[in-house]
Amino acid sequence: MHDITHAELLTRAKELDFPTRHHIDGREESGGGGAFAVVAPRDGQVLAHVADAGEAEVALAVAAARRAFDSGPWPRLAPAERGRVLVRIADLLEEHREWLALTVTLEMGKPITDAYQIELRAIINTFRWYGQLADKLTDESPHTAPDALALVTREPAGVVGAVVPWNFPLTLAGWKVAPALAAGCTVVLKPSENSPLSALLLARVATEAGLPPGVLNVVTGDGPTAGRALGLHPNVDVLAFTGSTAVGRYFLHYAADSNLKRVWLELGGKSPNIVLPDAPDLAKAAATAAWGIFFNQGEMCTAPSRLLVHSSVAEEVTEAIVARARELRVGDPLDPETEMGALVDEAHLERVRGHIAGGQEQGSRLRTGGSRVLTATGGSYLEPTVFDRVDPASRLAREEIFGPVLSVLTFDDVDEAVRLANATEYGLAAGLWTSDLNTAHRVSRALKAGTVWVNCYEEGDLTVPFGGVKQSGNGRDKSGHALDKYTELKTTWIQL
């Protein structure tokens, strides 16, 4: 996006026409409820008023998905044909890439360069990858005695409810929707009320690509009403959720109180990033740590928010991160030169500021940042923030902040680093910097996390699974393993 100027992007943003109605059974439906405002965090202005789903609208969407699954063509298509539709969706997402990136930037504050180059790349690749995988799956025929034949077949699980957050609104929707569709399921997607516009555009694109009516439905509304209705609905067979651990608990209750639907959860994190003194490149380790915590305004479940650094190199590494934080360009997310945009809304900004104030009260040392900036814009902007001398027992070190706030803790040996890293209820991701192969393997195995990055952070592609352990959730997005969430195994035993 660097070849387009800030002024040009401002003009194009004003020309956008947003969908504002639910997408149900292949059509846009207003429903019988009211509407809610979608506010741009860059300037506090209302982007659109979007239909607000209640139980009735969720029921309509689930009924459409149920019909499409029980009697529609999608689950009965040859897998290769389903795959071709998913690839067409990927092609159309690429065609509308700028339009979608602008929408993501406007609704949640992500810098336009990141929205275009990272967010859109991710969802395009996701639909293309699962489209190409759709006809590569195989069933099993275990060896049996000569007088019998056993078949183990994968069958689509049914209607999938997918509830996704605002921080990566298209990426995380794609990680749920694409494998569910590849498996032959139908989907009701509920995006965050902060970022419904991009999800509605995704539904438009999918319909244009030839997805049959009812296969992908999008209802917009809040969690306590629309999310709850989806979680409790007896005709939803699988519920896939990405969001906070607190809300994940609600979905488990909803499943218990309804039809015992399977619930797959990708939840919060307080990820440790361990820097040992034999790191192959301390400057790179520091630069990556800074990028990891400030990327996407720190609004990432995998953000390396706890930097665990050996005491012998702690000041060197911390000072490099502080220097990077001070030079980071915070500004209008529609400016291609902006490196850190706005937090998603005023309420979230105040929650993050509360954590910063609490850190200071509990004795952590504020090395840089901590203040709100660019207040004249009306947007929700915060300085990149770094604390050191953080007590491992403090809220700053233990609670997920979901903002650009780094906590630096020190250790004196590897065993202490592992103890600190695992001293959390979360287990989503971790980083490790070392030149010693033995240490890399030993520590990676000891860390309680779904993903461990060694001498890097946030690397990987669709071939590897993503998800957490402990209170960071269960199940996996990405890779062929994601299909496990959306399929049932059936055994057929034939006596010959």
Distances (CA, A) of 30 to 35, 49, 231: 9, 11, 22
What whole-number distance in Å separates Cα of residue 382 and Cα of residue 353?
Answer: 9
Q: What are phi and psi of 111, to 5 degrees?
A: -55, 140
Q: Is 98 a catalytic residue?
A: no
DSSP assignment letter at 340 = B
What whole-number distance in Å separates Cα of residue 376 and Cα of residue 275?
Answer: 39
Q: How many CB atoms lie within 10 A of CB 164?
A: 26
Q: What is the dihedral of CA 400, 404, 408, 414, to 10 degrees?
A: 70
Distances (CA, A) of 397 to 75, 207, 270, 307, 390: 47, 45, 8, 10, 7
What whole-number distance in Å separates Cα of residue 422 and Cα of residue 239?
Answer: 29
Q: Is 316 a catalytic residue?
A: no
CA atoms within 13 A on the CB side of 323: 9
In the block, residue with structure tokens 């609905």: 233
Q: What does the buried/exposed string (b/e) look like for 269-281 if buried means 16 or more CB atoms within 10 Å of the residue's CB?
A: bbbbbbbbbebee
Q: Specify which residues 340 forms β-bridges with.
A: 330
In the block, residue with structure tokens 């699988």: 238
Catalytic pick from 57, 107, 119, 301? 301
Token pair listed for 154: 């994968």
Q: Specify which residues 368 forms β-bridges with.
A: 386
Token pair listed for 172: 């995380």
What whole-number distance in Å separates Cα of residue 241 and Cα of residue 223?
Answer: 11
Sign of the C-alpha dihedral, residues 243, 246, 251, 252?
Answer: positive
Q: Which stretches of 157-261 are assigned E, i.e. beta strand?
A: 159-163, 186-190, 216-218, 238-242
> Are 431 and 276 a contacting pair, CB within 8 Å?
no
Catalytic pick from 266, 299, 339, 400? 266
Token pair listed for 396: 């700053």
Distances (CA, A) of 466 to 25, 118, 171, 471: 31, 17, 13, 15
User: Any idea which residues carry the catalytic annotation?
Assistant: 266, 301
